[in-house]
Amino acid sequence: MLSATSIAARVRSGEFDPQDVTEEAIARLQERDLEVHAYLDPDIERARQLADRVAETLRRGDDPGRLAGVPISLKDNMAVHGATLTAGSKILEGYRAPYDSFVAQRLIAEGAVLLGRTNLDEFAMGASTENSAYGPTRNPWDTDRVPGGSSGGSAAAVAAGIVPVALGSETGGSIRQPAALCGITGFKPTFGSVSRRGLVAFGSSLDVIGPLAAHAQDAALVYDVIAGHDPADATTWTGTRPSATTEKADLEGLRIGIPEEFLDEAVDSRVLESVSTAIKTLEEGGAITKVIPKGALPSMHHSIPVYYLVACSEASSNLARFDGMHFGPTSESKDTLDLLARYCATRADLFGPEVRRRIALGTFALSAGYADAWYKKSLSVRRLILNEFTALFGDYDLLAGPTSPFGAFKIGERSQDAYSMYLCDLLTAPACLAGLPSVSVPCGLARKGTYKGLPVGLSLTGPAGQDHRVLAAARAFEAIRGTPERSPIHGDDA
Ligand code: GLN
């Protein structure tokens, strides 16, 4: 499949017809999604309408935008006016969004053709997409395996070659981890670079929207389109963001540190092997790399407990609005007019087990008498993690390491053991807690072992606000390594 960058260029020049491009993407979706189940709603009519709009703009001789005719899919926790918005949950089954999210507005304004909404772990809680109430998504590299999560539908849609770019959201790793497991690029912007308006809230101090793409250049292009201040989201910072597309893609002289904490013993040895080859590639490009001895990020090993306390606390509050009255269906299991009983029945019946577990944990962590010991304490450690990263960025431009401790695991392998699933976030949660921009780029396939032949991701993390530099480094890395390997379902169609 062509990159978004070249599709847009050819549609703009008149070489490609946006309606043809859209029909081809629809045909790929209809054929390939039978195997991967990346989509909850393909929403084909909307795609056709948007393609007609681009064609009409071109006929008038007006500028169709930077993403003219590019098919892009959104994770089903981002509002698209009039479209279903389930967040992967039964509690929002049939609910339709009353307005467009900020990111949908931005994409449409630049001529993108929104094609469907993708599967996710319920309310973005998970790392395998198995927590979706609508069934799991499968990894296009091996359909017995998970695509990662929670943006597993978006990652699988791109890795299967259905669309060149999809949007995901990340709270603790949900863009980068599925990108790594599916062999594509995934970028988590600095917290507050991109507006959360119209994103179903999970952990409001952590949630960020970002692109998953087959090519780093496309992740940069889509980032440029969706990043920006939004008066309706007070956590977006004001001012313009430097362009990630035009920033020089050059590794020459870049100081890249590899903290030993990222090479934890939990990381699979074959994953580490691919990552060390990737470090050599960075050096070939002129980067100066150095392993930073253990001790520079002493609080990092608290990341998982701190992340789960903060994220669940915020989730318990954010999800209080789902009561069966304001949004979505009401459970009919209790034949009663008692309002409280109806709330309880709806929440007990229509939230899945992982969501209920997190609401219980978060409610406990925020409750009187425990909030100081759990919630406030975790905020203090979160600050320490941020301070330790900030100190490292005095000496290094970027930090590198594996994105995920392991490759794509088998469906069912971790789903019965919440803690082993939480370990998936070992290497991604720290940058989320610190609000830093971080990208996962494909760095080859594991050569041996459990994950043989499956993709491995290299993570590059930068200081807050340096999104353009992180993406430029990803572009430079891909330029040296060459086009990333493609999944068997993707094949090598042009
Ligand atoms: N796997 C993490 C969790 O389950 C991260 C999810 C996310 O980033 N949305 O919470």
User: Where do the domains of the chain lie, and which CATH numbers do they carry?
Assistant: 1-231+238-494 (3.90.1300.10)
Reported as type and span, the H/E element at residue 494 is none
What pLDDT, on a 0 to 100 scale, did the predictor assign at position 264?
Answer: 85
CA distance 377 to 360: 18
- DSSP letter for each residue of 178-234: HHHHHTSEEEEPPTTSB--TTBPPS-TTT-EEEEEESSHHHHHHHHHHHBS--TT-T
Q: Exposed, middle or buried, 53 (CB in 10 Å: 0-12/13-18/19+)? A: middle
Helix (H) or strand (E) holding 101: none
User: C-alpha angle with apex 85: 98 to 172, nearest 5 degrees?
Assistant: 120
Res 491: pLDDT = 83
Interval between CA 322 and ligand 1 midpoint (Å): 20
Ligand 1 and 127: CB distance under 6 A: yes
Q: What is the pLDDT of residue 468?
A: 98
Q: Among this protein's residues, is 150 annotated catalytic?
A: yes
The first and second tokens of residue 312, run together, are 């669940």
**Alpha helix segments (H runs only) across 263-352:** 269-284, 303-318, 339-350
273-to-46, 443, 451 alpha-carbon distances in Å? 44, 10, 12
- The minimum-distance atom of ligand 1 relative to the CA of 308 is 10
pTM: 0.98
What is the predicted pLDDT for the residue at 494?
Answer: 55
Please report the pLDDT score of residue 439 as a whole number. 99
Question: Comparing C-alpha atoms, which of 152, 46, 132 is closest to residue 86?
Answer: 132
Cα–Cα distance, 21 to 427 (Å, whole number): 38
- Amino acid code (one letter) for 271: V
Q: Which residues of the chain have pLDDT under 70?
A: 493-494
Query: Residue 445 in contact with residue 413, Cβ under 8 Å?
Result: no
Regarding the beta carbon of 203 and ligand 1, being less than 6 Å apart is answered: no
Catalytic-labelled residue, pool 73, 89, 150, 404: 150
- The alpha carbon of 269 and the centre of ligand 1 are apart by a number of angstroms equal to 24
